[in-house]
Structure 1
């Protein structure tokens, strides 16, 4: 099977239903399938071995994704925010490609690599011209690699994560009901097109026959206005987006959000204060916390709407703590926690998260990361509680090792965030002659509050945790560094604290 089947089924079931809205232009499912078939023709003519997108979210993302699937070549959206040298190196690794997007930039930094380049507008125009509406020609799309995504490459050269058609279909068919959406349903997509969350959002909505509403460049005001304008029913946000949306509402930006029924979030740690505030602000909305990775074709664990509301309203500390979790594994995957020796950990024992299932690729162009029996080591640290809820502690590489004792940055951050004057905090390991590593923290003070003293913060940690967790160095800063998906860039915090 090929992911193109998702769009073909949607267009066959509801060809005249609006499938996509972007910058005021509307596309039916029939339009999208016809354009994807046109893209197939362009790809075949170009001789390209990849289809790359170097652009913000637009209809071109949908057309290129499914056009590549029909042509049997990998779809490879690229991070347009990368510096020229890094982007040129990635383009060279996928040459020759059909590249959609920033034509001038590709020609300038990779003009000798043999790419076929189309500006977005020309690409979408041509895809609508080359496939006659009554043409029923046959094609063999293949079942190999559907998507190739480059990792962030924060510690080494970016790896090329491989997602096969079977992986992506394993996720979609196991978690989405075909044609389940009402014609009035609309999903707002505001995450970047080069992230797995953006790709899975497109496929999920298309298979459900839900209208996709795209916000190419996120702003909280633009997000709120688009929800009202298009009567959005479903949305996915990262924690920093939700925080900014709430801030805009609190500052008086008015919008009719009565249509919003479901909000999913993920991509980074959600501060408890933010999700509690969101549950109060949107009493009609069902909230879902989704945890997944590129290598797992998106979501592998969910904290559902009923669990959110129960935890929000509960006085039971154990139930209330579930808002800090990412919920329970999907029925289609297995999750284990393993220690450094590979032993499977019991309830509440911290270790590395391993996952197995049909949607799990765990494959890179360079090599496979799967174990012999199909388990993928995520490099995320966490634990499962006695009720099966998964709690994240950060990346396994982020663990602070002080004198041979492993410490989770998350437990230190959670304690410091209970201080009323602190809005954000990051705990990292810093070099220590005596201990190898010690705890350093960067702290953001809440607007309108005086910064607490270092002694006060140290006493707070000492009173809740073991003395080894007490920060040796504390830095007050105006903001912490995050990427566009809301992930904290701990390496940058380490660099500042280590100076």
Structure 2
């Protein structure tokens, strides 16, 4: 199922509403929205956004869990020309405040659960002119429906282009403050177009597919996956939040055929009691990514689910996937199962040394990518944008090597980012929060292997002379300062943080003891 005439999200809404208006586009908690309803509803929402004074190019935020209404807002922003800023609802108010202020968000959709936080932040930010309560009288979407009801469902006169921005997603930055990655419409179309043009079924869609959205839409992977299904005109089942029990039930009872997961999600689903291979009978293809997968978990998943598996590698900045390990390469016992994969069609890949010179085959260097799905910019950060681009190549910050057949193997992370169950954690942010404790003189944070989550956050703390602090006290001091998934699980009290002559923390010295038994330094 591929429609090459679709180049923007606006095209997707219009085309499928005309082609199969009564087909279900999104299911969530038993509620169904057809493609026609999604199109008409997003027309009303787009008109409401414009009537609220939001101009094309302005930022519109969403603070809430997954629902059919979220995807209506995605389409409404595209039709109005606004740029959507989806916000991770697990963040603390301080973290949310930074995103709203940095993006200049003018209108914020929020669910009742997060409304108090949103209103508090609105009082502190002049540019945030309007907060729309999605829930109304407590029913999901009721307030949103009332807000859009008076507006016409007729098509808008739009002139959206593939290069126009559609979404601004926040990812970790070198200072610990998240950066806004601005992605255009083309990021959600070009790779799939090129797969079809090259007759590759690495990621394919069939008319009877039913897709499970388990990764939230504030992640590039979640939004990208949902839009791939919508572009193909197939039905998606959205989970409000990922729960392994619910995921297993939905796969079985809704006849899910395909989904995108991070390895930790697979681990949790397979660990569910009373879940067996019969529960996965409808599955035909599972895509996974976000962090490397252990060979033991991959073997277990292949045996239990009995379907094709495809690995994706990419970053928010590359428009999600850039490299793929196809299903045919998932052969138990093959060393190729440790590879990230081959470049997607249209994607160029090189591995270079510190001077940007390509290294020989098999030698480790930094992975650079050039892709038609690449971001437009880091919002408001020209210097940071220029730093990651070299003559059109994007510097990933990941270390890896190529084999004789051009397959990429990720062996380390040049950047300090820690990935916990697919969530990015930047050490500087955690270290800054730890140093707010009156007993802490300095801190260093690393990622260590974790069987369930891929990596876990571990902190090394130097206490001030004469001061004491237990690991529990340190942990409790971080509550409310940073999100729970960023809080270290383990704490080591040390005499001195290892640094180089320029003062940079030598994380490698701290990491080596934990990674010596594994064959790569990412997990």
Q: Give the TM-score normalised by the residue count of structure 1.
A: 0.77
Q: 1:383 aligns with which of 398, 401, 404?
A: 401
Task: Note the C-alpha offset of 1:19.
Answer: 0.8
Structure 1 segment 150-165 matched on structure 2, within 5 A: 150-153=170-173, 155-165=175-185
State yes or no: 1:298 paired with 2:331: no
**Which blocks of at least 5 consecutive residues in structure 1 are unaligned?**
315-319, 400-408, 444-456, 470-486, 489-499
- Within 2, Cα distance between the matches of 1:297 and 1:145? 12
- Within 1, Cα distance between the matches of 2:76 and 2:395? 32
- Within 2, Cα distance between the matches of 1:108 and 1:427? 30
- Within 2, Cα distance between the matches of 1:103 and 1:12? 36
Q: Decide whether aligned partners of structure 1 residues 161 and 304 sit closer, same or farther in structure 2, where only a CA change above 3 A counts.
A: same
Q: Which moved more, 1:272-281 or 1:136-145?
A: 136-145
Task: Note the C-alpha offset of 1:161.
Answer: 0.9
Task: Note the C-alpha offset of 1:162.
Answer: 1.1
Task: Note the C-alpha offset of 1:116.
Answer: 1.6
The residue aligned with 2:145 is 125
Q: 2:287 aligns with which of 264, 282, 294?
A: 264
The residue aligned with 1:353 is 367
Q: 1:210 aligns with which of 229, 234, 237?
A: 234
SS in 2 for 1:270: coil
Structure 1 segment 335-354 matched on structure 2, within 5 A: 335-354=349-368
Task: Note the C-alpha offset of 1:174.
Answer: 2.9
- Within 1, Cα distance between the matches of 2:86 and 2:191? 20
Cα deviation, 1:403-460, whole Å, max 9, x if unaligned, reads: xxxxxx99x97xx99xxxx9977799985589965254676xxxxxxxxxxxxx98x7
Q: 2:168 aligns with which of 139, 148, 154?
A: 148
The residue aligned with 1:29 is 35
- Within 1, Cα distance between the matches of 2:173 and 2:394? 19
Cα deviation, 1:55-96, whole Å, max 9, x if unaligned, reads: 111112211111111111111101111111121122122334
Q: Which moved more, 1:424-433 or 1:63-72?
A: 424-433
Aligned length: 423
The residue aligned with 2:487 is none
SS in 2 for 1:438: helix
Judge conservation of contact 2:132–2:144 (CA < 8 Å) in 1. Answer: no
Judge conservation of contact 1:333–1:358 (CA < 8 Å) in 2. Answer: yes
Task: Note the C-alpha offset of 1:167.
Answer: 3.4
- Within 2, Cα distance between the matches of 1:140 and 1:424? 44
Cα deviation, 1:12-32, whole Å, max 9, x if unaligned, reads: 221111111001100111111
Q: Give the TM-score normalised by the residue count of structure 2.
A: 0.73
Q: 2:103 aligns with which of 94, 97, 107?
A: 94
SS in 2 for 1:381: strand
Judge conservation of contact 2:61–2:105 (CA < 8 Å) in 1. Answer: no
Task: Note the C-alpha offset of 1:306.
Answer: 1.2
- Within 2, Cα distance between the matches of 1:165 and 1:111? 33
State yes or no: 1:438 paired with 2:509: yes
Q: Which moved more, 1:112-121 or 1:59-68?
A: 112-121
State yes or no: 1:108 paired with 2:120: yes
Judge conservation of contact 1:71–1:141 (CA < 8 Å) in 2. Answer: no
State yes or no: 1:332 paired with 2:346: yes
State yes or no: 1:8 paired with 2:8: no
**Which blocks of at least 5 consecutive residues in structure 2 are unaligned?**
1-6, 135-140, 418-445, 461-496
Task: Note the C-alpha offset of 1:361.
Answer: 2.0
Q: Decide whether aligned partners of structure 1 residues 371 and 137 sit closer, same or farther in structure 2, where only a CA change above 3 A counts.
A: closer
Structure with the larger RCO, 1 or 2 (CA within 8 Å, 6+ apart)? 2
- Within 1, Cα distance between the matches of 2:66 and 2:52? 23
Judge conservation of contact 2:79–2:156 (CA < 8 Å) in 1. Answer: no
The residue aligned with 1:240 is 264
- Within 2, Cα distance between the matches of 1:64 and 1:433? 47
Alignment RMSD (CA, Å): 3.3
Cα deviation, 1:332-388, whole Å, max 9, x if unaligned, reads: 110101111111112111111111121112621112345352111011111111111
SS in 2 for 1:263: strand
SS in 1 for 2:350: strand
- Within 1, Cα distance between the matches of 2:227 and 2:196? 10
State yes or no: 1:50 paired with 2:59: yes
Judge conservation of contact 1:426–1:442 (CA < 8 Å) in 2. Answer: no
Q: Which moved more, 1:152-161 or 1:70-79?
A: 152-161
Q: Decide whether aligned partners of structure 1 residues 125 and 295 sit closer, same or farther in structure 2, where only a CA change above 3 A counts.
A: same
- Within 1, Cα distance between the matches of 2:206 and 2:187? 27
Judge conservation of contact 1:51–1:68 (CA < 8 Å) in 2. Answer: yes
